[in-house]
Amino acid sequence: MDREWELKAACRSYNPEIWFSKGTWVQAKGICIGCPVREACLEATLDRESLTPDSLRSGIFAGLTGAQRAELAAARAPEPPVVEPKPVPKKRTGGRQLAPCGTPSAYERHLRKGEPIDQPCRDAHNAALREYRRTGSKRLPVRA
Ligand code: SF4
Ligand SMILES: [Zn+2]
């Protein structure tokens, strides 16, 4: 940023302490009010203090105390982004399609959920059981 404005700063011809000791703040503010580069001073100060914690904004600049500059900076700050509500998670199905009726898996699902068991599922279950007994396999037949 061009700092040529500082050459016209009213405070240049005074003791800088006036801007930094509370006892002379009123005097400092009075000088700032009549300063021809107050606007540029304000912008440069807010810029310089942009990362400064509010409690460490010291002295008078552009006629404002540190607290007043903090307030101004806060008022200028952009609104925080709107937080989108979290999407409601989809009901888990284990990432798989539910087995259709007429399969042993659907039969077991009906049992687990306490649902009434329809005939195609009952038939599928019985067929699977028959197959299980017939083959003597220790494992239930591969499910649909
Ligand atoms: S506004 Fe005040 S602090 Fe800023 S340059 Fe002018 S006299 Fe100095
Ligand atoms: Zn079924």
Predicted pLDDT at 93: 60
Q: Which one of the ligands is nearest to 107 CA?
A: 2
> How many Cα atoms are found within 13 Å in the side-chain-facing hemisphere of 48?
13
β-strand partners of 64: 61
Task: Kindly state if the Cβ of 28 falls inside 6 Å of ligand 1.
Answer: no
With cut-offs at 50, 70 and 90, classify the pLDDT of residue 14. very high
β-strand partners of 61: 64
Predicted pLDDT at 2: 77
Position of tokens 């199905």? 93
What would the mean pLDDT of 92-108 be, rounded to a whole number? 84
Looking from the CA of residue 6, the nearest atom of ligand 1 is: 5
Q: Is the pLDDT of residue 138 over 70?
A: no
- For the chain, the structural domain boundaries read 4-76, 98-144
Task: Kindly state if the Cβ of 38 falls inside 6 Å of ligand 1.
Answer: yes
Return the number of other C-beta atoms located less than 10 Å from residue 69's C-beta: 21
Looking from the CA of residue 62, the nearest atom of ligand 1 is: 1
Predicted pLDDT at 22: 92
- pLDDT digit string, tens, across residues 53-90: 999 999 999 999 999 999 999 999 888 788 888 887 77
Residue 49: name the closest of 41, 91, 38, 12 by CA: 41
Enter the pTM of the model: 0.57
Contact 104, 143 (CB under 8 A): yes
